[in-house]
Structure 1
Amino acid sequence: MIPRLKGLVGRFWPVLRLRTFLLGTLLFVAALPGLGAIFLRVYENALVRRTEAELVAQGAALAASAAIVARGIPMQAVPLEDTQRYHERKTEVDLRSSPILPPRPRAAITNRLPDPAALVLARQMMPAFRETKVTTLAAILMLDRHGVLLNGQAGGRSFAMLPEVRIALGGSAVTVLRKNEGYVRRYPLEWLSRAAQIRLHHARPIMVDGKVVGVLLLSRSPRALFLGIYEDRGKIALGGVVILGLLFALTAVLSRAIVRPVERLSQATRELASGRRVTARQSSLQVVEIRALFHDFEQMADSIEKRSRYLRDFAASVSHEFKTPLAAMSGAIELLQDHGGDMASADRERFLANMAADARRLSRLVGRLMELARADVLVGEPGASAPVHGILASMADAMTRDRFRVNLLLSEASSALVPAVAMDPGALEAVLTTLAENARQAGASRLEVTLTVQDDDWVRLDLVDDGPGIPEGDRERVFAPFFTSKREAGGTGLGLAIARSLLDAYGGVLELLRSPNGAHFRVLCPRAMEYSANML
């Protein structure tokens, strides 16, 4: 199911430019607060609460005024103490949690007559009610202490059955949400507003001497969401312009720091693939990851260039090495084919011997090429360990002959404990044997091997012979494949190249140092994690 869904998404997912993707993402993130304010009704809920606060303030002011007026009315003339004065109260309605009650029903017919004292109070408060209604557009009704209406067209009827009136008669102010039965849609998108179809009803008791003498019932529709947005259109437009400006500025910075370097790197990659080396120029606004990517690209380009040059030179060298013996073998075969019958037996044997020698040379060359290929692609095994002193002793015994001797010299620091090196034992033995064999073939009679344990986790081997040494003009090419001064003696010129590749695979180093007498090669091998005791 999940793979099918991924395939479906991948089929219809648009391939966008990075600039477009960044701009779209930033625009979406910037629009989230606005979308949340509309669809989560955060802004609308704030408008409803503001309307409730206004109703609460109006009710508190009118109730306080009614309590003061009640001083001159018989049986109601008891002023409020300071501790009984109204205090500011927090809003309590919430569109997300407050229930929305049905529209307020009509006042019920009752046999109870309005309280005469409350009726006098209502008549005296009517001017204040009218002025407040004109200013705030809130409907204001006054009820006596039994819930009977004292003003309005339904005067004399009862609202005592309303839950908000019962709460107010109990001495507490309350605000409820009810559906607005007289609601008429005015805006095309007004259906998005939940508050457009409701009306707030606030009931507040009029208290004198701690007793409820009446109730004020105020109702009003909340401020419309779109009306509020329209009234704040200037601020909203300014905020939108500022946000868009910041978004475009941020997109420009991201484009210069990320998109443009990636495009330049892509262009440099295409040039490199076509065989041309182009250095990708970095932007002035740099990012750590992009800068690291450029650095890695340059390293890759250098490696590819080095490998390409190596393969080109290698192919030319292989062609040259194979051409000479193949040409000699082809010429000998033609002579034998054309004049084999008339040729003397000694000449025929000589041509056949030369052909056999060339065949052996080609076979030896192919074998060494295979060794070089394996060494070039070799990756050192983690945890490899080779007992360097034991391998040195074995090599010295194997290479020491009548006219050639290998002497092992140990420093005082390494004579008590010789660490193992992080190499395959066969690879280390092949490197040391190659260096010793080259010294013997060069005409040396003695090879001295000095082992030194360095403090920086390296084991150093210095191999110095007493031969004629390496000419100055050949020092730069001594590690190049196929370079040899002993080609007539069967040398392939691959021994040192193979030795260096084997050491490279394990993080080692092979270098040629200057020496007053003979040749001086230095082998550096990383020490293994564990140490091996002296194996002499």
Structure 2
Amino acid sequence: MIAALRSLALRLWPVPRLRWLLFGTLLFVAALPGIAALGLRVYENALIRRTEAELTAQSAAIAASAALLWPGPAAAAPPEPQEDPRENYEDAPSGVDLRSSPVLPERPAASVSLAPTDPVALQVAERLAPAIAETKRATLASILLLDRQGLLLSGRDRGLSLAAVPEVQSALSGAPRTVLRHNDAYLRDTPLDWISRATSIRMHQARPIVVRGEVVGAVLVSRSPRALFRGMWEDRGKIALGVAAIFSLLLVLTGVLARAIVSPVERLSRASRALAQGRHAAPRRPTLEVREIGSLYDDFAAMSAAIARRSRYLRDFAAALSHEFKTPLAGLSGGIELLQDHGATMADAERQRFLSNMAADAGRLSRLVSRLMELAQADMGRADPAARTALAPILAAVADGLRREDFAAELAIPADLPPLAAEPGALEAIVTTLAENARQAGASALKIAASLADDEVTITLADNGPGIPEGDRERVFDPFFTSKRAAGGTGLGLPIARALAENGHGQLELAASEMGTTFVLTFPAAPA
């Protein structure tokens, strides 16, 4: 199932350009606060609570005004309030939340009641009518006064009862209450109204009118919480300008990122294609460079240089290989042709001479093929990273194997020398090749010394032979270069030795010397 879904995703997923992916990511991140706020109803609840606070202030002021105007000896001369400077005022906690508060149906219509309206309450309502009318015009809220029986004291439904409404019942019992109700008469008049369901809700708050500790009536205030979204619609020009500014900033950021990341990657891609086609590739470094991209360009330059060196090596190697094989093959072809044409009439001595030359050429070809196999194995092999080799036994075995009456090998190995991080077979092959070359060059003595410095073991092999001519010193590690071709030399011994050293993270170099020849072999010391 998972494999099928992954296959479907791979087929349907469009492969975008990195520029558009960066821009889409930045745009999504910029829009996240707004998306989260809408998803969590932050704006809606802020709107609801703001509306509730305004309704609370209006109903409290009207209830207090009605209590002051209520007839009666105690109400006519209220005591002077004493302000306490230490008194703290705090916002009343909100009683509604769009995520948890139920939204009730639209408020039921007022019903007919046989009870008479309280004449004192009617008198107070008439006196408050101008103030209520002005407040309604300013706040666009509906404000209704009710007597202690829940009968309306103002408006076109005057004398009808709202006593069955839950919030009115709560207020007449002495507890103010705020509820949310659907507004069935609501008509959307701005395009922003669809953002929130709070725009189609009407908030109702009922507050008791208390005189001398007794509930004598109630104030019912209601309003639709639409101010925030109406304000957003009225400020749509500023909002559009802000969106345009954010969009422009995103474009600038995308351009900077594209210049610092996308364009360099595209240049590297074009350079890689050129390199694959065998053409020169040197991409221009970016002006706005980041560390990772700079490191990528450095790695590409190193890879390009390595490929160029390898290409030159292969080209030169192929040319040298062709030359080395051409000579013995030409000798073999010539000898075969002579034997085919004149073999019957040749003298035995002459025929034997041609056959000897052909055998020598065949032997040289065989040695070349064998050494080439050794070079390939040395060049492509990888040393064991956990290899540990004691140097002294290896050098002692090589010295014993090469000692002759006319050749002596002297060792100078410190007793406390640590093991080398090299394979014993590779180390023995390198030292044997160098020592054998010294003996074949005419040296009578070879001194092998070792030392430790900076976690590296340096092995110096110095002989007393005739040395290497100055003109040949730069070519001694080139494949097929040899001064002993007549003696059967293939010119592959030193290239094989250097390849074995480098594959073991070592180095083999020809050092300057006043007499004889000196090679320096370096390997890292094995970790303790």
Partner residue in 1 for 2:498: 500
Which segment drifts farther, 428-437 or 131-140?
131-140
Partner residue in 2 for 1:534: none
> What is the TM-score with the length of structure 2 in the denominator?
0.93
Structure 2 counterpart of 1:269, one-letter code: S
Residue 481 of structure 1: CA displacement?
A: 1.0
Partner residue in 1 for 2:388: 385
* Structure-to-structure mapping, 1:62-141, within 5 angstroms: 62-70=62-70, 72-73=71-72, 76-77=75-76, 79=78, 81=81, 88-141=91-144
Residues 273 and 300 of structure 1, relative CA distance in 2, 3 Å threshold? same
* Structure-to-structure mapping, 1:328-343, within 5 angstroms: 328-343=331-346
Task: Please tell me whether the aligned partners of residues 207 and 214 of structure 1 are also in contact (alpha carbons under 8 angstroms).
Answer: yes
Q: 1:404 aligns with which of 379, 404, 407?
A: 407
* Structure-to-structure mapping, 1:122-521, within 5 angstroms: 122-186=125-189, 190-223=193-226, 227-410=230-413, 414-415=414-415, 417-454=416-453, 456-521=454-519
Residues 305 and 87 of structure 1, relative CA distance in 2, 3 Å threshold? closer
**Secondary structure in 2 matching 1:275:** coil
Residue 278 of structure 1: CA displacement?
A: 2.7
Which segment drifts farther, 326-335 or 122-131?
122-131
Residue 325 of structure 1: CA displacement?
A: 0.6
**Secondary structure in 2 matching 1:406:** strand
Partner residue in 2 for 1:24: 24
Task: Please tell me whether the aligned partners of residues 78 and 208 of structure 1 are also in contact (alpha carbons under 8 angstroms).
Answer: no
Task: Please tell me whether the aligned partners of residues 69 and 75 of structure 2 are also in contact (alpha carbons under 8 angstroms).
Answer: no
**What CA distance in whole angstroms lies between the structure 1 residues aligned with 2:271 and 2:82?**
84
Residue 187 of structure 1: CA displacement?
A: 5.2
Q: What residue ranges of structure 1 are gaps of 5+ in the alignment?
A: 531-536
| 1:409-446 Cα shifts (integer Å, max 9, x gaps) | 13xxx22x231111111000000000000001101011
**What CA distance in whole angstroms lies between the structure 2 residues aligned with 1:173 and 1:440?**
114
Task: Please tell me whether the aligned partners of residues 175 and 207 of structure 2 are also in contact (alpha carbons under 8 angstroms).
Answer: yes
Structure 2 counterpart of 1:334, one-letter code: E
**Secondary structure in 1 matching 2:162:** coil
**Secondary structure in 2 matching 1:498:** helix
**Secondary structure in 2 matching 1:482:** coil
> What is the TM-score with the length of structure 1 in the denominator?
0.92
| 1:372-424 Cα shifts (integer Å, max 9, x gaps) | 101111111121111110001111111111211111113xxx22x23111111
Structure 2 counterpart of 1:17, one-letter code: R
**What CA distance in whole angstroms lies between the structure 1 residues aligned with 2:188 and 2:131?**
32
Which segment drifts farther, 77-86 or 384-393?
77-86
Structure 2 counterpart of 1:113, one-letter code: P
Work out the percentage of aligned pairs sharing the same amino acid. 58
Task: Please tell me whether the aligned partners of residues 175 and 208 of structure 2 are also in contact (alpha carbons under 8 angstroms).
Answer: yes
Structure 2 counterpart of 1:20, one-letter code: W
Q: What residue ranges of structure 2 are gaps of 5+ in the alignment?
A: none
**What CA distance in whole angstroms lies between the structure 2 residues aligned with 1:13 and 1:33?**
27
Residue 123 of structure 1: CA displacement?
A: 2.0
Residues 158 and 83 of structure 1, relative CA distance in 2, 3 Å threshold? farther
**What CA distance in whole angstroms lies between the structure 1 residues aligned with 2:493 and 2:145?**
112
**Secondary structure in 2 matching 1:255:** helix
Q: What is the number of equivalent residue pairs in this alignment?
A: 524
Task: Please tell me whether the aligned partners of residues 103 and 181 of structure 1 are also in contact (alpha carbons under 8 angstroms).
Answer: yes
Q: CA RMSD in A?
A: 2.2
**What CA distance in whole angstroms lies between the structure 2 residues aligned with 1:186 and 1:40?**
25
Residue 294 of structure 1: CA displacement?
A: 0.4
Which segment drifts farther, 159-168 or 442-451?
159-168
Which segment drifts farther, 331-340 or 12-21?
12-21
Residue 354 of structure 1: CA displacement?
A: 1.4
**Secondary structure in 2 matching 1:479:** coil
Residue 100 of structure 1: CA displacement?
A: 0.1
Partner residue in 2 for 1:533: none
Task: Please tell me whether the aligned partners of residues 101 and 178 of structure 1 are also in contact (alpha carbons under 8 angstroms).
Answer: yes
Partner residue in 2 for 1:9: 9
**What CA distance in whole angstroms lies between the structure 2 residues aligned with 1:78 and 1:495?**
123
Task: Please tell me whether the aligned partners of residues 388 and 526 of structure 2 are also in contact (alpha carbons under 8 angstroms).
Answer: yes
Residue 208 of structure 1: CA displacement?
A: 3.2
Task: Please tell me whether the aligned partners of residues 192 and 233 of structure 2 are also in contact (alpha carbons under 8 angstroms).
Answer: no
**Secondary structure in 1 matching 2:448:** strand
**What CA distance in whole angstroms lies between the structure 2 residues aligned with 1:402 and 1:172?**
123
**What CA distance in whole angstroms lies between the structure 2 residues aligned with 1:433 and 1:245?**
72
Partner residue in 1 for 2:526: 528
**What CA distance in whole angstroms lies between the structure 1 residues aligned with 2:185 and 2:49?**
21
**What CA distance in whole angstroms lies between the structure 1 residues aligned with 2:191 and 2:261?**
43
Task: Please tell me whether the aligned partners of residues 207 and 220 of structure 2 are also in contact (alpha carbons under 8 angstroms).
Answer: yes
Structure 2 counterpart of 1:145, one-letter code: R
**What CA distance in whole angstroms lies between the structure 1 residues aligned with 2:502 and 2:18?**
41
Residue 460 of structure 1: CA displacement?
A: 1.2
**What CA distance in whole angstroms lies between the structure 2 residues aligned with 1:196 and 1:215?**
26
**Secondary structure in 2 matching 1:422:** coil
Residue 311 of structure 1: CA displacement?
A: 0.6
Structure 1 counterpart of 2:4, one-letter code: R
Residue 65 of structure 1: CA displacement?
A: 1.8
Structure 1 counterpart of 2:62, one-letter code: L
Which segment drifts farther, 198-207 or 150-159?
150-159
Residue 58 of structure 1: CA displacement?
A: 1.4
Residue 318 of structure 1: CA displacement?
A: 0.8
| 1:133-184 Cα shifts (integer Å, max 9, x gaps) | 1222211111223433222333333333322223323433322100113223
**What CA distance in whole angstroms lies between the structure 2 residues aligned with 1:409 and 1:32?**
74
Residue 367 of structure 1: CA displacement?
A: 0.7
Task: Please tell me whether the aligned partners of residues 79 and 209 of structure 1 are also in contact (alpha carbons under 8 angstroms).
Answer: no
Residue 74 of structure 1: CA displacement?
A: 5.1
**What CA distance in whole angstroms lies between the structure 2 residues aligned with 1:90 and 1:126?**
30
Which segment drifts farther, 282-291 or 37-46?
37-46
**Secondary structure in 1 matching 2:451:** strand
